[in-house]
Amino acid sequence: MSKTALIVIDMINTYDHPDADLLLPSARKVVPVAAGLLDRARRAGEPVVYVNDNFGQWRSHHGELLAEALSGPHAGLVEPLVPDADSLFVVKARHSIFFETPLSYLLRQEGIDRLVLCGQVTEQCVLYSALDAHIRHFDVTVPRDAVAHIHADLADAALVMMERNMGAHVCDSGELWTT
């Protein structure tokens, strides 16, 4: 039987980077959708794994990353998505959630073979993560309304690539974990 995990990509964020002004409008739309998805996945008993950029702070851990994001000017985008006590957390340094992280091992240990990817940025981290998940033989689902973008045209193209080239199921978040 297939076991699914919700993967939250880079949503613990200070939005203190060069593309932030372009990302923020999309992130503001995605946060409530992602929060609803988190709630439904948790109520369904599905594992939730946060995979987050480390902001180049090699001594940081998830608590420090969360504290920094919650103390910044965009805390309102982070608060609805705070990991709960059951959430797993993996720190990454590059675009893909798999690149030099223990994520693949963790997922296999938990018997997870289907990933629902939400977060940011559609045309970067989500796209590269979907590709890396695909080549590791995970089934991938991407709810289009739960991923934020910098450039809408590139995000649309990325979603098409995920669907056509990687066999990802691209859908609306409302299709997932409904009662």
pLDDT tens profile 31-77:
999 999 999 999 999 999 999 987 666 666 678 889 999 999 999 99
Residue 2: band (very low, low, confident or very high) from pLDDT cuts 50, 70, 90:
confident
pLDDT tens profile 12-26:
999 998 999 999 999
pLDDT at 130 over 80: yes
Token pair, residue 94, equals 């590059």
The confidence score (pLDDT) of residue 63 equals 81
* Mean pLDDT computed over 145-153: 98
Are 81 and 119 contacting, i.e. CB atoms less than 8 angstroms apart? no
The confidence score (pLDDT) of residue 60 equals 61
